[in-house]
Amino acid sequence: MFNIFTKQTKKKLGEEKTINFSKDGDIPKHIAIIMDGNGRWAQKRRLPRIAGHKEGMNNVKKITTYASKLGVKVLTLYAFSTENWKRPSNEVDFLMKLPVDFFGVFVPELVKENVKVNVMGYTEHLPKHTQKAVENAIKETKNNTGMILNFALNYGSRAEILTAVNDLLNEVKQGNFTEEVDEDMFSNYLMTASLGKELQDPDLLIRTSGEERISNFLLWQIAYSELYFTESYWPDFSLAHLEEAIGSYQKRQRRFGGLKIEGEASK
């Protein structure tokens, strides 16, 4: 299956591991990441939690650039959930300023890399300065045709599904709609709809920091995603870790509820 099969020994991953990762192998078209562990990364260094978020933001730049170079089509990053408003106000304020800092510096590089910014979530509830930074990044990168960098900002999957149901109900009330709702049609009412049918569901979902839960992220869309959990805190999640996650994905056999096709080379 692989043209070139690189075996790399990565000592930096904590323990020595052999990673079977191929740049010419099956690169997931859509990778989604729950970027967890910023706070613990900071605590471990006796730094305030916000220092972890700042380092996390810097890591977004590195991972975005590498994912784009690998040929990933969509990188969805869970940056702020509808539940994160419960955090102390200084932390929320800091998180709301991150897109301003991030896009303020990184947009020219995104343009150079042909990356297009997209944002999903209830952005109308974000502070004005955050909304402006996001709108500007979307505008500046709108003609780019490469990887879509899809930020989930004030996003929650249950809310997203309820919004879709209510939008559908309104269509029914207005008499615009009489057919039965099928999966494709329902997907068109979700916040990932603009990514198109081929790309709206992640192939690979990564969660950092050792926690193994989904935390209200893309509940509909990850029905058949491959899940990958790593102990690494998000600020420590390196290019080698990304290779390791993709390497793990490349070994898996996706059956989507069907059976392995006889004679098909196993991964």
Interface size with ligand FPP, residues (CB under 6 A): 18
Is 220 annotated as ligand-binding? no
**Active-site residue among 36, 201, 203, 236?**
36
CA angle centred on 157, ends 51 and 217, rounded to 5°: 45
Which residue stretch of 20-28, 55-63, 221-229, 255-263 sits at the interface with ligand FPP (rule: CB under 6 A)? 55-63
Q: Does 36 bind ligand FPP (CB under 6 A)?
A: yes
Backbone angles phi, psi at 147, to 5 degrees: -60, 140
Whether 201 is a known active-site residue: answer no
Q: Is 36 annotated as a binding residue?
A: yes
Bridging pattern class, strands 17-21 and 74-81 = unpaired
Query: Side-chain half-sphere of 114: how many Cα atoms within 13 Å?
Result: 9
Decide if residue 6 touches ligand FPP (CB under 6 A): no
User: Binder to ligand FPP among 68, 70, 73, 102 (CB under 6 A)?
Assistant: 102
Examine residue 38 and tell whether it contacts ligand FPP (CB under 6 A): yes
C-alpha span between 6 and 247 (Å, rounded): 10
* DSSP code of residue 85: G
Structure tokens belonging to residue 115: 């990356």
36 assigned to active site: yes
Q: Which is nearer to ligand FPP, 21 or 102 (CB)?
A: 102
Candidates 58, 84, 136, 216; catalytic one:
84
> Is 41 part of any known ligand binding site?
yes
Distance CA 257, CA 207 (A): 23
Strands 6-10 and 17-21: antiparallel
39 near ligand FPP, judged by CB under 6 A? yes
Shortest distance, CB of residue 79 to ligand FPP, whole angstroms?
4
Shortest Cβ 80–ligand FPP spacing (Å):
6
Residue from 87, 78, 149, 143 nearest 118 by CA: 149
> Per CB under 6 A, does 247 bind ligand FPP?
no
Helix, strand or coil for residue 167?
helix
Collapsing DSSP to helix, strand or coil, 173 comes out as: helix
Question: How would you class 47 by CB atoms within 10 Å of its CB: exposed for 0-12, middle for 13-18, buried for 19 or more?
Answer: middle
Smallest distance, ligand FPP to C-beta of residue 101, A: 8
**Shortest Å, Cβ 264 to ligand FPP:** 38
Task: Give the footprint of ligand FPP on residues 107-166 (CB under 6 A).
Answer: none
**CB within 8 A of 21, min separation 6: which ones?**
6, 8, 243, 244, 246, 247, 250
Positions marked active-site: 36, 84
- Please enumerate, by residue number, every residue annotated as part of a binding site: 36-41, 49, 53, 81-83, 85, 87, 207, 213-215, 226
Residues that bind ligand FPP (CB under 6 A): 35-40, 53, 56-57, 60, 79, 84, 95, 98-99, 102, 209, 234
